[in-house]
Amino acid sequence: MNTLVENDPTVVAEVTALFEEYEQALIDKNVDVLDNTFWNNPRTIRYAMHENGYGFSEIHKHRTSRAPGPGIKEVRRRLEILTLGDNFATVNLEFKVRDQDEVGRQSQTWVKFPDLGWKVVAAHVSIQDKAPRW
């Protein structure tokens, strides 16, 4: 029976490094890194604040049209990374929205392809009006 290893430290470190590289590329508008992060496939999806990117081409089009800068994330509140085995991961980030009393949420689904390495196959960013009370 095959058992998936949950949150192997080596795999978590790989995904964390790629996520941090992606976050910096958003600020720098490094389109090469942004594009390389996502699976180049028509089934890749990225839902964002002002974008419904269906397929890599639409995601790339949005990337090239937005201005560089700090974006909407002011402060990270919580980062959760889950890896299952050595080729599947989810990354979820909760953050304070810049200059607003709102909470943003970001999620990414990562798959490690044998010939491509780690790629985001689905992503989502949304804002809720107020912070949830835990």
What dihedral angle (degrees, nearest 10) is formed by the CA atoms of 81, 84, 87, 88?
Answer: -60
Amino acid 130: pLDDT: 65
Instruction: Please tell me the pTM assigned to this model.
Output: 0.91
Q: What is the DSSP annotation of the chain? A: ---PPBS-HHHHHHHHHHHHHHHHHHHHT-HHHHHHHB--STT-EEEETTEEEESHHHHHHHHHHSPPS-TTEEEEEEEEEEEBTTSEEEEEEEEEETTSS-EEEEEEEEEEETTTEEEEEEEEEEEESSPPP-
Could you tell me the domains of the chain? 9-128 (3.10.450.50)
Amino acid 5: pLDDT: 94
Environment class of 70 (CB within 10 Å of its CB; exposed 0-12, middle 13-18, buried 19+): exposed
Amino acid 134: pLDDT: 46
Per-residue pLDDT of the chain (134 residues; tens, 9 = 90+): 567 899 999 999 999 999 999 999 999 999 999 999 999 999 999 998 888 999 999 999 998 988 888 888 999 999 999 999 999 999 999 999 999 889 999 999 999 999 999 999 999 999 987 655 54
